[in-house]
Amino acid sequence: MKTRNRLALASFTATTAVVVAFIVPTTPAIAHGTMSDPASRVYTCKNEGPETPKSDACKAAVAAGGTQAYYDWNEVSLLEAGGRHRQLIPDGKLCSAGRDKYRGLDLQRADWPAKRVSAGPLTVTYHASAPHSNSNFEFYITRDGWNPTQPLRWSDLVHLQTFNNQNPGTFTNWTLNLPQRSGRHVLYSIWQRVVGSNEAFYTCSDVDYGGGGTPPPSTTTTTPPPSTTTTTTPPPAGGTWAAGTTYSVGNRVTYGGVNYECQLAHTALAGWEPPNTPALWRRL
Amino acid sequence: MRLLLLALAFAVSGCATTQPDAVLRGDPLDVMFLQMMLPHHQQGVEMVALARDRARNEELRMLAAAIEKTQATEADTMRNWLTSWGEPLTAPPDSHAGHGGMRQSDPQEVARLSALRGAEFDERLLNVMIAHQDDAVQMARWEVGSGANQEVKDLADRIEKSRTAQIGLMKKFLGTT
């Protein structure tokens, strides 16, 4: 379901609803926040310092995806989520919200710094640096028997509780009732804004019930991706423009029946079609 | 009627208002998208420009130059729209959009990148630009999904596609630098 607040609200006939529809675009586009207790992975690594991570897990996360994610710790979000979390975020990428920027958070490790917990009530705290009214907060925990060295999938999550129509402040507390578990688990949260934005935030907080045996030694070596030597195939003279082809200055292509000449060496990409990129292509 | 509603909307939302007569010409969401995208583009251009003298990977240098030029052209288009609608190019600093596109860490990141050379520079630029363009994809999807003006939405669609493709290329480069 694709929620478009503007359209949905505009279809209401009540004058108040129409007013709300016009408010929509003027409300803040980017809210900010994450779980501070139990600390989410992004909050942990941000607190360790993006340039000087201390734990092996944060070191590996920074090595895998760079430091920027931890400066922007409060934006593990999808601006146009609109409740479609399971459609938009693939299994194995739940902690990054499927975003390349935050890919370090998806590392499958048994040594992410974790808060010691036990079954029963647990007060959790959400740190919202830009609070926004009227939001729903959903909380989940991984199923019994979940393995932290395996990809985190949607089907691994067991729903704990949802708090609707919340008006979070800078620090907001809720009390969850944790089920019985042993060993390491992930407490997952979704903050879905309701009015004025489709934006949703996602958090992975590692918790440890103990009794899970000694965690296996961290064998997660950051395997560098295979070194692919990109062979730049010279384009056929006068061929049709094609994404993935590397063009040099002076190369000629046709696109949509029109001829173009390359102005700047580049590898062609979807979205960089000649009619839209006068910096790269001159129409002949 | 619409003017009244808009005036009311601004009053209720507490947002900093632009000139009331100008609001009617640019859709508020399109305007906000453009005002956020412009400084974001500027930061991106500043970072990729550093590759010219610092990058080791020839392919990265080529991509960086193409990003620099294409984003400069896109920025011209975006500025022209805002100007033609009588809107300021940047959101007032106290408005919500004012703290959207530009992050405090960005100028520091330019400084950190400037200090590096060769393989170290390549790796850091790639990771930073993957993050930067991932943010652009988010903003573009927002405009495509909720924006009003078709031309602006078309630009956002091309931004989403090209940045996604750039991220794919850059992730590949990370293996070779």
DSSP string for residues in A160-174: EEEEEEE---SEEEE
DSSP state of A220: -
Whether B19 has a pLDDT exceeding 50, the answer reads no
Q: Which residues of B touch A198 (CB under 8 A)?
A: 142, 145-146
Contact predicate A273/A255, CB 8 Å? yes
Q: Are strands A252-255 and A157-166 parallel, antiparallel or unpaired?
A: unpaired
Closest among A114, A109, A112, A105 to A66, alpha carbons compared: A105
Q: Does B134 touch chain A (CB under 8 A)?
A: yes
Domain spanning A246-283: which CATH class is it, in words?
Answer: mainly beta
Q: What is the CA radius of gyration of chain A?
A: 23
Of A29-33, A57-61, B152-156, the poorest mean pLDDT is in A29-33
For residue B146, what are the domain limits?
A: 32-88+105-174
CB A127 within 8 A of CB A33: yes
pLDDT band at A129 (very low <50, low <70, confident <90, very high): confident
Helices (H), A12-88: 15-23, 41-48, 56-65, 68-71, 85-88
Instruction: State the best of A1, A96, A101, A195 to mutate against chain B, taking most chain B CBs within 10 Å.
Output: A101
Lowest mean pLDDT among A21-25, A103-107, B85-89, B116-120: A21-25
Average pLDDT, stretch B89-96?
70
The whole-number pLDDT of residue B4 equals 39
pLDDT above 60 (res A6) = no
pLDDT of residue A11 exceeding 80, the answer is no
Read off φ and ψ for residue A100, nearest 5 degrees: -60, -35
Mean pLDDT to the nearest integer, A62-74: 96
Domain annotation covers residue B2: no
Do B142 and A80 lie within an 8 Å CB cutoff? yes
The average confidence (pLDDT) of chain B is: 84
**Residue B141 neighbours by CB under 8 Å, 6+ apart:** A78, A79, A80, B156, B160
Residue B14 lies in a domain: no
Which stretch of DSSP H or E encloses residue B156? helix B150-174
ipTM rounded to 2 decimals: 0.83
Helix (H, G, I), strand (E, B) or coil at B133: helix
The answer to whether residue B23 is domain-embedded is: no
Answer yes or no: do B172 and A225 touch at CB < 8 A.
yes
CB-nearest to A279 from B70, B126, B127 is B70
Q: Which helix (H) or strand (E) holds A149?
A: none
Identify the sign of the CA torsion A244, A249, A252, A255. positive
Q: Which of B138, B143, B151, B152 to mutate to test the interface with A (most CBs of A within 10 A)?
A: B138
Tokens coding A276: 């839209």
Is B66 at the interface with chain A, CB within 8 A? yes
Identify which of B27, B146, B176 has the shortest CB distance to residue A227: B176
Establish if B19 belongs to a structural domain: no
CA angle (B109, B110, B114) in 5-degree steps? 115
Mean pLDDT of B64-74: 97
End-to-end Cα distance, chain A: 45
Residue A31 has a pLDDT of 62
Mean pLDDT of A155-183: 96
Residue B30, C-beta contacts closer than 8 angstroms, at least 6 positions apart: B81, B143, B147, B148, B149, B152
- A136 phi, psi to nearest 5 deg: -110, 135
Longest dimension (CA), chain A: 72
Name every chain A residue with its beta carbon within 8 A of the beta carbon of B164.
270-271
Segment B72-89 shows an average pLDDT of 95
**Whole-number Å distance between alpha carbons of A86 and A154:** 7
Q: How far apart are the first and last CA of chain B?
A: 59
- Name the CATH topology of A29-208: Coagulation Factor XIII; Chain A, domain 1 (2.70.50)
Task: Inform me whether the pLDDT recorded for B23 exceeds 60.
Answer: no
Q: Is A78 in Cβ contact with B100 (below 8 Å)?
A: no
Cβ distance B161 to B152 under 8 Å?
no
pTM of the model: 0.84
Question: Could A269 and B166 be called an inter-chain contact, meaning their C-beta atoms sit closer than 8 Å?
Answer: yes
> What ranges do the domains of chain A cover?
29-208, 246-283
CA distance B175 to A229: 9
Domain count of the fold of chain B: 1
Residue with more model confidence, B7 or A110: A110
Output the domain CATH number for residue B132: 1.20.1260.10
Tokens coding A91: 């299994």
- Spell out a b/e string for A85-101, using b for 16 or more CB atoms within 10 Å of the CB, else e: beebbeeebbbbbbbbb
Residue B26 is given by DSSP the state S
CA A107-A130-A186 angle, to 5 degrees, is 30
* Side chain identity, residue A102: Y
